């Protein structure tokens, strides 16, 4: 699907357009344009009225079918924008929900994603109730108000049912891991921020590797493949870490990271070509998330081909203080990939 991306931010805020583009590509969207505006949020359109009109023209000339904002949109902003531009307008969080829905493999993850979707919808329905109440049309008001109220109550009932179901989902993770290990297989999960290079590295590490027998691993996703030259080591891609997830999305995110619970080893991929403070911040945030899973982690600093040897060395020195093994690689040129394969091999069989 052809999409246009939009971001409104303050001059002091970092741009999130690149991350949004990577997220959109995860859903196989084709980014055909982007609009950025530095200003305070506009209550009506999030961006300014003039920018919104420019967006409408861009959507038309680029033949886009959807607009995605990095900013969270209120229901009325989304409605006004889509009326103006003539195609569906969503925000980053709706996009993330779609990605989680696509990635959710386990019953628990599916329930958590549905729960998050309803959590997102609920305040929006509430806002519609308020909007209806403020309209001075006594004749029509009663009926619409009633319907929205019914919808609202239905969402709350569904959420209560989901909460009960979630409490009773028996997580058979431990058993599944044992089953796989008994057959001599090990699972390595590739984790890291969106755009770090997880999918590229998965391809590099599995090029020429054997097909994984689906029958044995029905619980694993199609993104699981055998590592090259080590048929018993399986590699799997995971959903990327995303900055600034709102609380209602956190549980769905964690459940979608199921493969990390199942993994014997995690390769944390970090884009070392980013400014060093970003590298450090993302490294710390990732490690904090991974600490909850009590799984062994090795770090792969990716995209060294974008830096000079000098720059790599300088950054590596700063990053030396980070615990655990690390390798500097390029997933695209293949530099140091043999080293990474060796680090994976030794770590994944250790501790048996
Ligand atoms: P993911 O979101 O973590 O799965 O990241 P992707 O594998 O989709 O990669 C994101 C972007 O980074 C793509 O445009 C890749 O081509 C690029 N990329 C990945 N690895 C490297 C690398 O080693 N060097 C360079 N220069 N680009 C890379
Ligand atoms: Mg990816």
The contacts of residue 33 (CB under 8 Å, 6+ apart) are 4, 5, 58, 59, 62, 64
Averaged pLDDT, 114-143: 74
- CB atoms closer than 10 angstroms to residue 239: 24
17, 23, 25, 200: which to mutate for ligand 1, most atoms within 8 A of CB?
200
**Among the ranges given (105-119, 201-215, 332-346), the one the predictor scored with the smallest mean pLDDT:** 201-215
Averaged pLDDT, 129-138: 64
193 C-alpha vs ligand 2 centroid, how far in Å?
9
Rounded CA separation 266/295 (Å):
7
Averaged pLDDT, 120-136: 74
Nearest residue (CA) to ligand 1, atom 14: 195
302 C-alpha vs ligand 1 centroid, how far in Å?
8
96, 273, 331, 334: which to mutate for ligand 1, most atoms within 8 A of CB?
331
- pLDDT at position 250, please? 87
Band (pLDDT 50/70/90 cuts) for residue 127 is confident
- pLDDT at position 174, please? 61
Reply yes or no on whether the pLDDT at 143 is more than 90: no
Reply yes or no on whether the pLDDT at 215 is more than 50: no
- pLDDT at position 138, please? 57
The string of pLDDT tens digits covering residues 150-204 is 888 999 999 999 988 887 775 555 666 666 777 788 889 999 998 899 989 999 9
Task: Specify the higher pLDDT residue, 96 or 255.
Answer: 96
The string of pLDDT tens digits covering residues 258-311 is 788 888 999 999 999 999 999 999 999 999 889 888 889 999 999 999 999 999
- pLDDT at position 135, please? 60
Helices (H) and strands (E) in the chain, counts: 13, 10
Task: Specify the higher pLDDT residue, 72 or 231.
Answer: 72
Q: What is the atom index within ligand 1 of the atom nearest the CA of 192?
A: 3
- CB atoms closer than 10 angstroms to residue 61: 10
125 C-alpha vs ligand 1 centroid, how far in Å?
39
Which ligand gives the minimal distance to the CA of 103? 2
107 C-alpha vs ligand 2 centroid, how far in Å?
22
Nearest residue (CA) to ligand 1, atom 9: 197
- pLDDT at position 10, please? 96
Reply yes or no on whether the pLDDT at 339 is more than 90: yes
30, 96, 195, 237: which to mutate for ligand 1, most atoms within 8 A of CB?
195
**Where do we find the tokens 């993330």?**
96
- pLDDT at position 227, please? 87
- pLDDT at position 108, please? 84
196 C-alpha vs ligand 2 centroid, how far in Å?
8
Band (pLDDT 50/70/90 cuts) for residue 247 is confident
Reply yes or no on whether the pLDDT at 248 is more than 90: no
- pLDDT at position 222, please? 60
- pLDDT at position 351, please? 59
- pLDDT at position 228, please? 83
- CB atoms closer than 10 angstroms to residue 74: 17
Q: Are strands 224-227 and 265-271 parallel, antiparallel or unpaired?
A: unpaired
Contact 284, 245 (CB under 8 A): no
18 C-alpha vs ligand 1 centroid, how far in Å?
12
The contacts of residue 91 (CB under 8 Å, 6+ apart) are 68, 69, 70, 71, 72, 73, 78
The string of pLDDT tens digits covering residues 79-95 is 899 999 999 999 999 99
Strand order in the sheet with 326-328: 224-227, 230-237, 186-192, 265-271, 297-302, 326-328
Averaged pLDDT, 210-235: 69
Residues flanking ligand 1, CB < 6 Å: 22, 192, 194-200, 240, 302-303, 305-306, 330-332
Task: Specify the higher pLDDT residue, 113 or 177.
Answer: 113
- pLDDT at position 188, please? 93
Band (pLDDT 50/70/90 cuts) for residue 142 is low
Averaged pLDDT, 123-142: 67
351 C-alpha vs ligand 1 centroid, how far in Å?
32
Which ligand gives the minimal distance to the CA of 22? 1
The string of pLDDT tens digits covering residues 27-79 is 889 999 999 999 999 999 999 999 999 999 999 999 999 999 999 998 889 98
């Amino acid at each position: 699907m052809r999409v246009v991306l939009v971001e409104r931010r303050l001059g002091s805020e970092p741009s999130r357009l690149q991350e949004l583009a990577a997220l959109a590509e995860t859903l196989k969207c084709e980014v055909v344009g982007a609009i950025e505006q530095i200003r305070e949020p506009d209550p009506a359109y999030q961006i300014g009225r003039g920018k919104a009109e420019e967006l409408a023209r861009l959507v038309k000339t680029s033949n886009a079918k959807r607009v995605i904002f990095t900013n969270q949109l209120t229901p009325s902003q989304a409605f006004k924008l889509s009326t103006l531009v003539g195609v569906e307008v969503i925000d980053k969080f709706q996009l993330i929900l779609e990605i989680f829905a696509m990635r959710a493999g386990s019953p628990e993850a599916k329930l958590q994603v549905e729960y998050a979707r309803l959590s997102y919808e609920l305040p929006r329905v509430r806002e519609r109730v308020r909007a209806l109440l403020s309209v001075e049309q006594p004749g029509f008001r009663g009926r619409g108000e009633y319907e929205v109220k019914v919808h609202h109550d239905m969402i709350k009932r569904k959420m209560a049912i989901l909460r009960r179901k979630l409490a009773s989902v028996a997580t058979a993770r431990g058993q599944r891991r044992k089953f796989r290990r008994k057959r001599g297989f090990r699972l390595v999960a590739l984790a890291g921020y969106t755009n770090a290079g997880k999918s590229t590295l998965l391809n590099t590490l599995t090029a020429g590797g054997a097909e994984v027998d689906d029958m044995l691993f029905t619980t694993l996703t199609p993104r699981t493949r055998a590592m090259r030259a080590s048929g018993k080591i399986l590699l799997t891609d995971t959903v990327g870490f995303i900055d600034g997830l709102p609380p209602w999305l956190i549980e769905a995110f964690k459940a979608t990271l199921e493969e990390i619970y199942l993994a014997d080893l995690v390769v944390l991929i970090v884009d070392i070509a980013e400014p060093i403070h970003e590298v450090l911040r993302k490294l710390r945030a990732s490690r904090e998330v991974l600490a909850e899973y009590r799984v062994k982690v090795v770090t792969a600093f990716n995209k060294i081909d974008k830096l000079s040897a000098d720059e790599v060395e300088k950054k590596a020195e700063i990053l030396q203080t980070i615990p655990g093994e690390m390798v500097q690689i390029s997933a695209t040129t293949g530099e140091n990939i043999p080293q990474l394969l060796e680090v994976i091999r030794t770590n994944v069989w250790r501790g048996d």
